[in-house]
A and B are shown apart, each in its own frame.
Chain A
């Protein structure tokens, strides 16, 4: 049963610390998305990649967030330094161009 795998599932960290979230997309999928979900804003698109190249990261605060795909099996989202307002659920999703996308279970981040 192919699925998007995200780690860590839960993370509590102190303000100012670096946080790295990882995502393994479904094998064969060439598009990877990072979303952030909060009660107030819903699901916000942070960045997405096609064939490992960043296509759009306009939703991401550039001063502290960065997203990369070191290889086709790994996508990372890094926050440095983290702030309490970054507390949210971060979802990775993958798909094949122009078709449906599938979500991971999310990384639940709390910054205190």
Chain B
């Protein structure tokens, strides 16, 4: 079993839709949770970072962590074609090891 599981998609939605992306992780030692966005032929770039259970909002993006269920989510409101990319969840322990999910490929159609 992988330490971080993420549905690879692909996921296709119409412009303006609410997008929900999800990951589960297996080790409760992971303390920090991140979402990265990766455009085609580019390196991943950090989108959201959180270390506690609950919600964190940044513009149209909301990251949600439920440590009791080992479940992390990213919501995108009013999705735009420019949001089309691969979204990767990542978990991080205090020792510094950063593990990524498989990535979900998102396409937002105009």
Q: Which residues of A contact B (CB under 8 A)?
A: 4, 31, 33, 35, 42-43, 45, 48, 50, 55-56, 91, 93, 97-98, 100-106
Contact = CB atoms under 8 A, between A and B. Distances in A.
Given A98-B94, A100-B49, A43 B103 contact: yes
Given A42-B102, A100-B49, A105 B42 contact: yes
Interface in B1-58: 8, 32, 34, 36, 42-46, 49
Contacts of B96: 31, 48, 50, 55, 97-98
Given A42-B8, A43-B88, 9 more contacts: A48-B97, A55-B96, A55-B97, A98-B96, A100-B46, A100-B49, A101-B98, A105-B42, A106-B42
**At the interface, is chain A mostly helix, strand, loop or mixed?**
strand
Given A42-B102, A43-B103, A103 B97 contact: no
A45 B44 contact: no
Nearest to B86: A42
Contacts of B110: none
Contacts, number: 50
Give 4 closest A-B pairs by Cβ, nearest first.
A103-B43, A43-B100, A42-B102, A103-B44
A82 B47 CA distance: 34
Given A98-B94, A100-B34, A45 B46 contact: no
A45 B98 contact: yes
Nearest to B2: A42
B95 interface: yes
A101 B44 CA distance: 10
Interface in B64-105: 88, 94-103
Contacts of B100: 35, 42-43, 45
A96 to B, nearest CB: 10
12 contacts: A31-B96, A42-B88, A42-B100, A43-B103, A93-B43, A98-B94, A98-B96, A100-B34, A100-B46, A100-B49, A101-B98, A106-B43
